[in-house]
C-alpha cells in the first residue's frame, strides 16, 4: 500500500512536471496558426553569434525581450532592404514570414543569456 | 484500500511510467547511461557545440569536451592584439563557464579515435566512449610547404597562425624593428584559416610602423595566390593610410618562393632576395592530425562532410566542424565554425534524444581592420546545395565607402567579438 502510494505520488508529480515543461501557460506556440517556438529557437542560434552581448546602445543591439511586432517589423525591413546593413539584409533575405514570426515570438519570450 | 482504488493506482502508475519513457528520462528510469556526446577541441566550433548540446538537452545528454589547454587565445582579433588595439588577456578565455553550463571538460590531449569501438583515446591512455563524436581540431601547419621552414624555424620566423605564444613572439619582433627595416610576409595557398587574415595582419604591421614614425620601413607580401580576399578594399586602404609601405607580389611578380633561412633572415624568390628583419611565414595548412590519423580526411588533407548535417562522409557517428572540414563555399573562419557547430548540435540532439530537426543553415561574416576605425567586411548565408555548403547570399564592402560606414564596421566587429566569445565560452 505504501509502495503503491509512493509510486502514485511520484508519478503524479512527474506528469505534472512534464506537462508544465512541455506546455507553459504563456507558450502559445502549440496552438493552431501560432508561431513555432522551437523553430524560433533554432533560427535564433544564428542571431546569438553577434547579439548575445548586445546592449541597448551597442552597434549590435540587444534583441531579447523585444515585442513580436518590433522584431517582425525590423526583420521585414531588412528583408525588403529598406533598412540598411548588409549583414542583416543577408540574414533576413532567406527568412519566410513564418520564420520571422517564429523568431519574433522566440525573442519576445526570451531573456538575454 | 478497495480493489477499485488499487486498480486506479495501477493505471495511474502505469500511465506515469509510460510518460516517463521519453528519451529525456528513460535512460535514468531504466538505469541506463545517458547518451554521450564527446567533443574534441575547445575552440569556436568545439566550445559552441558542447555548450549548445548541454544547454538545449538540459542534462539528457552527457557532454564531454576534450581540450588540452586551460585557456584559449582566439586567432580572431589576434591581429588587433599585434597592433595594440587589444591586450592579450582580452583575447584569452577559460572554460569556467563551459563547465558551469553542464559540460565535463577534460584538459588532456586526445591522442586518437578508435572508430570501431567508438572511443576517444587520451594521451594518458584513458578511453572516453561516445555515442556521437564532434571533432573540431582546427588546422595543423605544413611547415615543409615553405622550403627551409620548419617547426624550429617558427621560433625565429613566427607564423602566428595559431594564437598564443607565437602571437606574442611576433609582437616582440615587431616592437624591435628600426626605421628602414623590412618585414617579409609569406602568405599561405588556399585553403587556409581566415582568408583575409594575412592582409589584415599586414595592415596592422603598417599601423604599428606608422605610429612609431617609421618613414623607410617596408612590408613585402610574397603571395602564392594570384588574388586574395577583399583585395581591392585592402589595396585602397593601404594606399590611403600607408602609401608606399606595403608591397604585394603575386606569383607572376616574384616567380615563386625558393627558400627561407631562419639563421640569416634571408628570403629568396625566383626574382629577388630579401633580408627580413621580421619574417612572418604562414605556410600551407591541413586538418588537425587527429582527424587525418582517424581516416576522416581525403587527399586534400581536410575532411569531407555532409552539408545537411556536418557529419563526416567517412563515419556517420562523427561530425567534423570548423577549419578541419571541407566547408564548400564557406571560408575557414571562427564565425563559420560557430555556425557549423549549431547545425551539428541540432542534429546530435535530434539523433540522441529525438528533439526536432530543422534544415541546416549557415552564415558567416569576416571583418578586417585596415587602420583605426577603418574596417571592411565580407559575408554571406549558406545552405546545402549541389552536394556542398553552397552560398545563398553574399555581401562585401565597396570601394569608396564613407569613413563613418567603416567606423561602424569596426564597432560592429567589436560587438561581434563580445557576442561570439560569449557563445563559445559562456
What gap in Å lies between CA B338 and CA B318, rounded to an integer? 17
Give the number of other Cβ atoms within 10 Å of residue B255's Cβ. 12
Please list, in sequence order, all residues whose beta carbon lies within 8 angstroms of the beta carbon of residue B45, skipping any fewer than 6 positions away: B134, B136, B321, B322, B323, B337, B338, B340, B341
In this prediction, residue B416 carries a pLDDT of: 97
What is the tens place of the pLDDT at every residue in B273-328? 999 999 999 999 999 999 999 999 999 999 999 999 999 999 999 999 999 999 99
Query: A28 pLDDT band (50/70/90 cuts)?
Result: low
Check whether residue B98 and residue B203 sit in a common domain: no
What is the tens place of the pLDDT at every residue in A35-47? 999 999 999 999 9
Interface of B with A in 122-161 (CB under 8 A): none
In this prediction, residue B404 carries a pLDDT of: 97
- 3-state class percentages of chain A: helix first, strand second, coil last, to nearest 5: 60, 0, 40
Using a CB–CB cutoff of 8 Å, tell me whether A62 touches chain B. no
What gap in Å lies between CA B210 and CA B26, rounded to an integer? 65
Check whether residue B17 and residue B62 sit in a common domain: no
Q: Which of B347, B358, B424 to mutate to test the interface with A (most CBs of A within 10 A)?
A: B358
Check whether residue B190 and residue B303 sit in a common domain: no
Tell if the CB–CB gap between B361 and A50 is shorter than 8 Å.
no
CA of B289 vs chain A CAs: smallest distance (Å)? 28
**What per-residue string of b and e applies to B344-375 under the rule 16 or more CB within 10 Å gives b?**
bbbbbbebbbebeebebbbbbbbbbbbbeebb
Tell if the CB–CB gap between B9 and A8 is shorter than 8 Å.
yes
Using a CB–CB cutoff of 8 Å, tell me whether A15 touches chain B. yes
Here the cell at position B94 is 577559460
What gap in Å lies between CA B83 and CA B373, rounded to an integer? 13
Check whether residue B190 and residue B215 sit in a common domain: yes
Residues of B in contact with A5 (CB under 8 A): 9
Higher-pLDDT residue of B105 and B30 is B105
CA of B234 vs chain A CAs: smallest distance (Å)? 19
What CA–CA distances, in Å, run from B172 to A104, B22, B58, B185, B390?
A: 48, 57, 45, 16, 41
Q: How many CB pairs under 8 A join A and B?
A: 114
In this prediction, residue A33 carries a pLDDT of: 72
Query: B71 pLDDT band (50/70/90 cuts)?
Result: very high
In this prediction, residue B2 carries a pLDDT of: 39
What CA–CA distances, in Å, run from A87 to B113, B151, B363?
A: 38, 39, 10
In this prediction, residue A64 carries a pLDDT of: 95
Check whether residue B371 and residue B415 sit in a common domain: yes
Tell if the CB–CB gap between A49 and B420 is shorter than 8 Å.
yes
Find the angle CA(B136)-CA(B142)-CA(B148) to the nearest 5 degrees. Answer: 160
In this prediction, residue B31 carries a pLDDT of: 54
What gap in Å lies between CA B349 and CA B140, rounded to an integer? 30
What CA–CA distances, in Å, run from B150 to B190, B275, B359?
A: 20, 19, 43
B32 within 8 A of B20, measured Cβ to Cβ: no
Q: Where are the beta strands (DSSP E) in chain A?
A: none
What is the tens place of the pLDDT at every residue in B201-227? 999 999 999 999 999 999 999 999 999
What is the tens place of the pLDDT at every residue in B118-145? 999 999 999 999 999 999 999 999 999 9
B176 within 8 A of B210, measured Cβ to Cβ: no
Check whether residue B41 and residue B169 sit in a common domain: no
What gap in Å lies between CA B362 and CA B384, rounded to an integer? 9
What CA–CA distances, in Å, run from B194 to B149, B272, B368?
A: 21, 28, 10
Using a CB–CB cutoff of 8 Å, tell me whether A20 touches chain B. no
End-of-domain residue from the set B261, B283, B305:
B283
In this prediction, residue A57 carries a pLDDT of: 81
Domains and CATH numbers, chain A: 36-113 (1.10.760.10)
Higher-pLDDT residue of B57 and A6 is B57
What gap in Å lies between CA B289 and CA B270, rounded to an integer? 32
Q: Which of A86, A94, A95, A106 to mutate to test the interface with B (most CBs of B within 10 A)?
A: A86
Strand, helix or coil for residue B247: strand
Check whether residue B52 and residue B149 sit in a common domain: no
Average pLDDT on A84-89 reads 95
CA of A69 vs chain B CAs: smallest distance (Å)? 24
Quick check: A12 pLDDT over 60?
no
B281 within 8 A of B160, measured Cβ to Cβ: no
Cis omega (within 30 of 0) on the bond before B191?
A: yes
What is the tens place of the pLDDT at every residue in A53-79? 888 788 999 999 999 999 999 999 999
Check whether residue B1 and residue B125 sit in a common domain: no
What gap in Å lies between CA B242 and CA B257, rounded to an integer? 25
Higher-pLDDT residue of B339 and B5 is B339
Residue with cell 540598411: A84
Tell if the CB–CB gap between A90 and B415 is shorter than 8 Å.
no
What gap in Å lies between CA B307 and CA B391, rounded to an integer? 12
Of B296, B386, B389, B311, nearest in space to B344 by CA: B311
Query: A20 pLDDT band (50/70/90 cuts)?
Result: very low
CA of B275 vs chain A CAs: smallest distance (Å)? 42
Q: Please tell me which of the candidates B16, B25, B422 has its beta carbon nearest to residue A53.
A: B422
Check whether residue B156 and residue B265 sit in a common domain: yes
**What per-residue string of b and e applies to B176-196 under the rule 16 or more CB within 10 Å gives b?**
ebeeebbbbbbbbeebbbbbb
In this prediction, residue B9 carries a pLDDT of: 38
Residues of A in contact with B346 (CB under 8 A): 42, 45
Average pLDDT on B240-249 reads 98
What is the tens place of the pLDDT at every residue in B330-370? 999 999 999 999 999 999 999 999 999 999 999 999 999 99
Indicate the average pLDDT of chain A.
Answer: 80
What is the full DSSP assignment across B145-186? GSTT--TTGGGTS----S-SHHHHHHHHHHHT--TT-EEEEE
Using a CB–CB cutoff of 8 Å, tell me whether B2 touches chain A. no
Using a CB–CB cutoff of 8 Å, tell me whether A33 touches chain B. no
Give the number of other Cβ atoms within 10 Å of residue B257's Cβ. 24
Tell if the CB–CB gap between B365 and A87 is shorter than 8 Å.
yes
In this prediction, residue A32 carries a pLDDT of: 62
What is the tens place of the pLDDT at every residue in B14-64? 444 333 333 333 344 455 689 999 999 999 999 999 999 999 999 999 999
B353 within 8 A of B28, measured Cβ to Cβ: no
CA of B215 vs chain A CAs: smallest distance (Å)? 36
Check whether residue B157 and residue B241 sit in a common domain: yes
CA of B296 vs chain A CAs: smallest distance (Å)? 27
In this prediction, residue A29 carries a pLDDT of: 53
Quick check: B235 pLDDT over 70?
yes
Backbone angles phi, psi at B205, to 5 degrees: -60, -50
Residue with cell 584559449: B72
In this prediction, residue B33 carries a pLDDT of: 84
Q: Where are the beta strands (DSSP E) in B212-343?
A: 218-222, 246-249, 257-261, 266-269, 273-275, 278-281, 285-287, 305-306, 311-312, 318-320
CA of B362 vs chain A CAs: smallest distance (Å)? 8
**Domain containing residue B15:** 1-32
Q: Where are the beta strands (DSSP E) in B44-109?
A: 62-66, 71-73, 92-94, 104-106
Percent of chain A with pLDDT over 90: 62
Check whether residue B185 and residue B77 sit in a common domain: no
Cα–chain center distance at B360: 19
In this prediction, residue A55 carries a pLDDT of: 82
By CA distance, what is B49's nearest residue in A? A45
In this prediction, residue B27 carries a pLDDT of: 40
End-of-domain residue from the set B283, B306, B321:
B283
Domain count, chain B: 3
Tell if the CB–CB gap between A93 and B381 is shorter than 8 Å.
yes
Quick check: B253 pLDDT over 80?
yes
Check whether residue B260 and residue B183 sit in a common domain: yes
Using a CB–CB cutoff of 8 Å, tell me whether B12 touches chain A. yes
Q: A12 burial class (0-12, 13-18, 19+ CB within 10 angstroms)?
A: middle
Percent of chain B with pLDDT over 90: 92
Higher-pLDDT residue of B329 and A9 is B329
In this prediction, residue B32 carries a pLDDT of: 61
Quick check: A95 pLDDT over 50?
yes
By CA distance, what is A16's nearest residue in B? B16
Q: In this predicted complex, what is the ipTM? A: 0.86
Interface of A with B in 84-103 (CB under 8 A): 86-87, 89-91, 93-94
Residues of B in contact with A54 (CB under 8 A): 415, 419
Higher-pLDDT residue of B23 and B164 is B164
What is the full DSSP assignment across B292-326? HHTT---TTSSB-EETTTTEESS-TTEEE-GGGB-
CATH code: domain of residue B98: 3.50.50.60
Amino acid at each position: 500500500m505504501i509502495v503503491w502510494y509512493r509510486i502514485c505520488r511520484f508519478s503524479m508529480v512527474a506528469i505534472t512536471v512534464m506537462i508544465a515543461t512541455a506546455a507553459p501557460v504563456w507558450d502559445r506556440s502549440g496552438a493552431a496558426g501560432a508561431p513555432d517556438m522551437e523553430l524560433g529557437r533554432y533560427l535564433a542560434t544564428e542571431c546569438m553569434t553577434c547579439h548575445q552581448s548586445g546592449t541597448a546602445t551597442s552597434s549590435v543591439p540587444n534583441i531579447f525581450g523585444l515585442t513580436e511586432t518590433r522584431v517582425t517589423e525590423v526583420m521585414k525591413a531588412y528583408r525588403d532592404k529598406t533598412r540598411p546593413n548588409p549583414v542583416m539584409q543577408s540574414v533576413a533575405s532567406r527568412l519566410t514570414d513564418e520564420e520571422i514570426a517564429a523568431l519574433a515570438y522566440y525573442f519576445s519570450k526570451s531573456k538575454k543569456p | 484500500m478497495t480493489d477499485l482504488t488499487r486498480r486506479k493506482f495501477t493505471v495511474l502508475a502505469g500511465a506515469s511510467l509510460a510518460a516517463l519513457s521519453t528519451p529525456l528520462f528513460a535512460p535514468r528510469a531504466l538505469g541506463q547511461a545517458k547518451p554521450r556526446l564527446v567533443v574534441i577541441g575547445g575552440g569556436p566550433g568545439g566550445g559552441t557545440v558542447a555548450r549548445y548540446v548541454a544547454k538545449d538537452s538540459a542534462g539528457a545528454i552527457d557532454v564531454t569536451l576534450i581540450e588540452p589547454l586551460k585557456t584559449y587565445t582566439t586567432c580572431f582579433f589576434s591581429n588587433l592584439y599585434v597592433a595594440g588595439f587589444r591586450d592579450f588577456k582580452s583575447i584569452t578565455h577559460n572554460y569556467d563557464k563551459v563547465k558551469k553550463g553542464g559540460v565535463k571538460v577534460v584538459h588532456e590531449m586526445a591522442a586518437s579515435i578508435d572508430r570501431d569501438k567508438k572511443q576517444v583515446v587520451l594521451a594518458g591512455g584513458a578511453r572516453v566512449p561516445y555515442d556521437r563524436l564532434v571533432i573540431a581540431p582546427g588546422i595543423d601547419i605544413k611547415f615543409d610547404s615553405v622550403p627551409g621552414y620548419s617547426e624550429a624555424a617558427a621560433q625565429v620566423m613566427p607564423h602566428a597562425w595559431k594564437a598564443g605564444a607565437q602571437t606574442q613572439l611576433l609582437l616582440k619582433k615587431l616592437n624591435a624593428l628600426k626605421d628602414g627595416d623590412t618585414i617579409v610576409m609569406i602568405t599561405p595557398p588556399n585553403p587556409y584559416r581566415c582568408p583575409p587574415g594575412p592582409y589584415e595582419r599586414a595592415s596592422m604591421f603598417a599601423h604599428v610602423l606608422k605610429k612609431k614614425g617609421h618613414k623607410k620601413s617596408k612590408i613585402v607580401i610574397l603571395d602564392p595566390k594570384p588574388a586574395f580576399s577583399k583585395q581591392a578594399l585592402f589595396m585602397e586602404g593601404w594606399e590611403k593610410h600607408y602609401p608606399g609601405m606595403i608591397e604585394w607580389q603575386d606569383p607572376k611578380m616574384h616567380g615563386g618562393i625558393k627558400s627561407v633561412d631562419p639563421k640569416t633572415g634571408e628570403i629568396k624568390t625566383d626574382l629577388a632576395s630579401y633580408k627580413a628583419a621580421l619574417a612572418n611565414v604562414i605556410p600551407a595548412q591541413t586538418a588537425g592530425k587527429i582527424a587525418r590519423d582517424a581516416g576522416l580526411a581525403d587527399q586534400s588533407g581536410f575532411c569531407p562532410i555532409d552539408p545537411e548535417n556536418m557529419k563526416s562522409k567517412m563515419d556517420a557517428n562523427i561530425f567534423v566542424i570548423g577549419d578541419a572540414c571541407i566547408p564548400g563555399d564557406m571560408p575557414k573562419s571562427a564565425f563559420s565554425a560557430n555556425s557549423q557547430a549549431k547545425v551539428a548540435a541540432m542534429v546530435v540532439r535530434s539523433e540522441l534524444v529525438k528533439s526536432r530537426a530543422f534544415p541546416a543553415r549557415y552564415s558567416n561574416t569576416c571583418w578586417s581592420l585596415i587602420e583605426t576605425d577603418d574596417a571592411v567586411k565580407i559575408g554571406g548565408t549558406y545552405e546545402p546545395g549541389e552536394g556542398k555548403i553552397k552560398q545563398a547570399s553574399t555581401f562585401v564592402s565597396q570601394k569608396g565607402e564613407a569613413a563613418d560606414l567603416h567606423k561602424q564596421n569596426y564597432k560592429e566587429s567589436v560587438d561581434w567579438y563580445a557576442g561570439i566569445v560569449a557563445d563559445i565560452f559562456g
